[in-house]
Amino acid sequence: MHEEAGANRIKGQQSQAIQEKERGWVMPTEFTTANLGDLIEFQRGFDLPQQKRAIGNHPIVSSSGITDYHSESMVAAPGVVTGRYGTIGKVFYLDQPFWPLNTTLWVKNFKGNHPKFVYYFLHTLDFNSCADKSSVPGVNRNDLHSISVKIPDIQTQQAIAEILSCLDNKIELNRQMNKTLEAMAQALFKSWFVDFDPVKAKAEGRKPEGMDDVIAALFPSNFTDSPLGLIPEGWEVKEIGEVVDATGGATPDTKESSYWDSGTIPWVTPKDLSSISVHVLLDTERKISEKGLAKISSGLLPVGTVLLSSRAPIGYLVVSEIPVAINQGFIAMKPKGVIGTQYILYWTLENMETIKGRANGSTFQEISKKSFRPILALLPKKEILYEFERIAGILHARVVENLKQINRLILIRDTLLPKLISGKLRVNDLPKETAAS
């Protein structure tokens, strides 16, 4: 199996060399050709059974990334880790001491090369060319060490690493900012509509904290009984199906090409939501045609629809920022009456355990629209709903813009990375504002 992988790798390298020759590309003088083993030395990770793990701050790294933390570490930072077995091709950078598991290979010796450059460099390698053909793929470090690569000098390595790191730092900063913005909106929802902080303050003769007199005047100073227990006076309790239009979707026949070929209409499945970091949907993996859309009874859902995955798994949640069609794995919620998108989003987050508790199924858990619609929801006065929607909407708009910037930065990084690493784009050729995009 390793012989076959080696032959495929050599064939691919020869093909690449021929293509570069035909294009007339000449390797820059600051690059040299060597084996990967001349650049770095890989080492297999270490066993750490679950029963031997103790609570701590040192990351445990598997072939899919950081999966746990331990009281001890085996490798000092900086570290670069990739999968040896199972998940192949992902590369991780560690800036603190860590414990690489035996399903990984970690860089034991950088041999004078820049660690962050090595991290980016490994993203350009075809690990699958060194993988065996078993049901669970694996790579041999000796096969990786024998790959022929082009290596720039240390000054160029550092310059490349700085450019790509700058982009990654901006991406991470925006991600952290988005988490903070959403946490602020969720905290506001909980304060106003779960803990009733403004009402409690007024009932005790205090001024509600963190709000001006105009907004404070909108809240009552007394409570009344309801099916949900004590709620602010003048507020109502209704079934969620009364305040949102809850619909489902479908999958047009995948064998009918006219439903899919040249499709331009976003069609979302729970898979599209599996890797999101915030509750926003900007795009979908698959598109359908007008003919395909006609096969989905819920049709094209408008911007601002809240999408809740109703099975496999239950709980993915986004506000769609594009018109979309959905498959059968969702409950789509369109606001009715005075209820707004942001209130629906954070009400769903707050009531997720109740929603999941109504699921059933023998093969996999699913909550039907019939089980979802009767869930009780609090309906505050419209003036208060308006203020919440206004404030949370401002935060949401910033999240959306940050996410769009993240996507632009990722595109820039992923375009630059292979060109810089290969030398086909020189650092000095880049405009100074590139990393500040």
**pLDDT digits over 266-275, tens only?**
999 999 999 8
pLDDT-based confidence at residue 26 (cuts at 50, 70, 90): low
pTM for this model (two decimals): 0.86
Cα–Cα distance, 70 to 79 (Å, whole number): 16
What pairs with residue 330 in β-bridges?
309
Cα–Cα distance, 273 to 330 (Å, whole number): 11
Cα–Cα distance, 16 to 399 (Å, whole number): 42
The predicted pLDDT at position 435 comes to: 47
In tens, the pLDDT along 168-192 reads 999 999 999 999 999 999 999 999 9
The predicted pLDDT at position 28 comes to: 74
Could you say which DSSP state residue 48 is in? -
Closest CA to 110 of 99, 125, 121: 121
**Amino acid letter, residue 406:** I
Phi, psi (rounded to 5 degrees) for 172: -65, -40
Residue indicated by tokens 């952290």: 176
pLDDT-based confidence at residue 128 (cuts at 50, 70, 90): confident
What pairs with residue 61 in β-bridges?
66, 100
DSSP labels for 140-180? -HHHHHT-EEEEE-HHHHHHHHHHHHHHHHHHHHHHHHHHH
Structure token digits, residue 185: 């909106």
The residue with greater pLDDT, 119 or 20, is 119
The predicted pLDDT at position 135 comes to: 62
Angle between helices 154-193 and 341-350 (to 10 degrees): 90
Helix H or strand E encompassing 186: helix 154-193
**List of domains in the chain:** 2-151 (3.90.220.20), 181-383 (3.90.220.20)
Cα–Cα distance, 209 to 134 (Å, whole number): 62
Structure token digits, residue 145: 């060490």
In tens, the pLDDT along 62-79 reads 999 999 999 999 999 999
